Structure 1
Amino acid sequence: MRIATWNVNSIRTRVGRVVDWLERENIDVLAMQETKCRPDQFPYAEFERAGYEVVTHGFNQWNGVAFASKHEMTEITHSFDEMPGFGKPVKGQDQGTGPEGDPLEARALGVTVGDLRLWSLYVPNGRGIDDPHFDYKLRWLEALRKNAEAWIGADPDLPLALMGDWNIAPLPSDMGDPQFVEGRSTHVSVPERQMFESFSSVVSDPVRDLVPDEYTFWDYQAGRFQKDEGMRIDFILGSQAFAEAVTGASIHRDERRGDGPSDHVPVVVDIDLSLVAETFDDEDDRPMVF
């Protein structure tokens, strides 16, 4: 089974490219971020023709998360407990509010596929170390970590994956963009890196050992891709049960090439389902009990 994450940077702009890649790479489940559309604007038909069902969460032309899957998705969740909000409400949209009364953004979407619990996450950017968005980013991540701890605490064998655009380069080697300077910039600050590291008590990065040195994002400006001045900010972090089932991983750098690419590229893991107990048992084959 192949599971992927990709910040598509507007699904309506790149639907053809995304679906072509899904078919070419035989992806089973794709977590998408920055879809930039409401559910009624999502290009479902293209995915459905390729054999994928879609669940999506978005309020306007900003943010937005989604899943495309060849398999049934259940337990669809549009936020996690105590997820903070930010900014002003979107007119005409029922966003809900965070614990401090701020409107929730479309940054988290959870689904269950078989026994796998998967989250598509678009972590706030932070904007600047002195910006209120930076504090929002840290509070958002802290709430996510507490939820992850609770999920694994309740079920230590849960095959959980937290996937998406984390907007943090956790290691110095993950940052190749000269615009980002430690101590002065988001993505590489001590608080952000410490927050990312705090997730290690519940999830690990199964991609890192298999693909240690690739970037996942290159800014459109200043020829960053051509100079390879990128950053590694997109991750699939898995619980022990999920990570132990990973048999391969890849970062698809070539998706940054060609006409109209996203500024991010897909990150993929291959899962051996035999290592995830009874994930896709056919219930119709079980004996009936009366």
Structure 2
Amino acid sequence: MKIATWNVNSAKARLPNITEWLTEAAPDVVLFQEIKCETASFPAAAFEELGYHVHAVGQKAYNGVAILSKTPITDIITRLPGEVEDEQARYVEGTIDGVRIASIYLPNGNPVGTEKYPYKLRWMERLRLHAADLLKSEQPVVLGGDYNVIPAAEDVYDPVGWREDALFRQETRLKFQEILALGYTEAFRTLHPGLVPAYSFWDYQAGAWPRNNGLRIDHFLLSPQAADRIVACEIDKGPRAKEKASDHTPVILTLA
């Protein structure tokens, strides 16, 4: 099973790039973040023409996630449990060929001195609790997406400069580690412990892409049953070099 996660930064604005990549890479499952459209206006037909079943959860202009799969998606949930009043479209989860898979768009959290950062930390705690519940099923679980978390200094081009950013603050990294401590495996770094630089995001500003001033913030967390099946996890930088590219690039997980 080949699973890709990609923050597309507007599904409609990047549609030609997305469909071109899907045709070439042919993943079995695709997790999108930041589709930036309401559910009804998500360009599902373009993906159905490529043979995908589609389930999107959107909101006007912001956020939004989706799962695409070559085989049917069942038992879908469209919100992360734990905060009923939270209406932001940041989570969708379903079962595909016996694997429980989620597409996650974790809050950015900046500026730190506003309500956005406590919201990020609350969201991460809700994710930890839900991730713990998912382990009880003892089925393979894949939590993929844009976590807006830089796990370690090796995952950012300037660790000192990013020290107080919401993506790299100690509280953020500790929350991420708490999820891993449940028994989850972070796929990319497990397979590539010494590979640097290895980034999945480059800002549009200040020549970040040509200078390779990047961040690794798009991750796959795997339950023990999924981790036992890891074959590969790679970052495909090709789409970031395209015209009208997203500022993120796909990360691809392969399970036996």
- The root-mean-square deviation of aligned C-alpha atoms, in Å, is 1.4
Query: What's the offset of the Cα at 1:20?
Result: 1.4
Aligned to 2:55: 55
Q: Aligned partners of 1:250 and 1:185: how far apart in 2?
A: 26
The answer for unaligned runs of 5 or more in structure 1 is: 85-97, 273-290
For normalisation by structure 2, the TM-score amounts to: 0.95
Q: Aligned partners of 2:162 and 2:4: how far apart in 1?
A: 29
What percentage of residue pairs aligned between the two structures are identical?
35
Aligned to 1:216: 200
Aligned residue runs from structure 1 range 34-183, under 5 A: 34-82=34-82, 84=83, 98=84, 102-152=85-135, 154-155=136-137, 157-177=138-158, 180-182=161-163
Q: Aligned partners of 2:187 and 2:219: how far apart in 1?
A: 9
Aligned to 1:89: none
Query: What's the offset of the Cα at 1:72?
Result: 0.5
Asked whether the 8 Å contact 2:187–2:219 carries over to 1, the reply is: no
Query: What's the offset of the Cα at 1:209?
Result: 3.0
How many residues align structurally?
A: 252
Q: Deviations over 1:178-227 (max 9, x none)?
A: 79431x22111010000011011231112213343310000000100111
Q: What SS does the corresponding residue of 1:50 show, helix, strand or coil?
A: coil
Higher fraction of strand: 2
For normalisation by structure 1, the TM-score amounts to: 0.84
Asked whether the 8 Å contact 1:207–1:249 carries over to 2, the reply is: yes
The answer for unaligned runs of 5 or more in structure 2 is: none
Runs of 4+ in 1 over 6 A off after TM superposition: none
Aligned partner letter, 1:221: Q
Q: What SS does the corresponding residue of 1:208 show, helix, strand or coil?
A: helix
Q: Aligned partners of 2:235 and 2:184: how far apart in 1?
A: 19
Q: Aligned partners of 1:240 and 1:103: how far apart in 2?
A: 30
Query: Which of 174, 177, 183 is 1:194 aligned to?
Result: 174
Structure showing greater Rg: 1
Q: Aligned partners of 2:49 and 2:165: how far apart in 1?
A: 43
Are the structure 2 counterparts of residues 204 and 128 from structure 1 closer, same or farther at C-alpha, using a change threshold of 3 Å? same
Query: Which of 228, 237, 251 is 2:221 aligned to?
Result: 237
Aligned to 2:22: 22
Q: What SS does the corresponding residue of 1:6 show, helix, strand or coil?
A: strand
Q: Aligned partners of 1:132 and 1:194: how far apart in 2?
A: 19
Query: What's the offset of the Cα at 1:36?
Result: 0.3
Aligned to 1:32: 32
Aligned partner letter, 1:192: T
Asked whether the 8 Å contact 1:215–1:232 carries over to 2, the reply is: yes
Q: What SS does the corresponding residue of 1:145 show, helix, strand or coil?
A: helix
Aligned to 1:257: 241
Query: What's the offset of the Cα at 1:47?
Result: 0.8
Are the structure 2 counterparts of residues 202 and 104 from structure 1 closer, same or farther at C-alpha, using a change threshold of 3 Å? farther
Q: Aligned partners of 1:238 and 1:204: how far apart in 2?
A: 5
Q: Aligned partners of 1:233 and 1:13: how far apart in 2?
A: 22
Query: What's the offset of the Cα at 1:171?
Result: 0.2
Query: What's the offset of the Cα at 1:174?
Result: 0.7
Q: Aligned partners of 1:148 and 1:178: how far apart in 2?
A: 28
Q: What SS does the corresponding residue of 2:185 show, helix, strand or coil?
A: coil
Q: What SS does the corresponding residue of 1:221 show, helix, strand or coil?
A: coil
Q: Aligned partners of 2:223 and 2:121: how far apart in 1?
A: 21
Q: Deviations over 1:83-129 (max 9, x none)?
A: x3xxxxxxxxxxxxx2xxx3420000001102100000000000122
Q: Aligned partners of 2:226 and 2:4: how far apart in 1?
A: 13
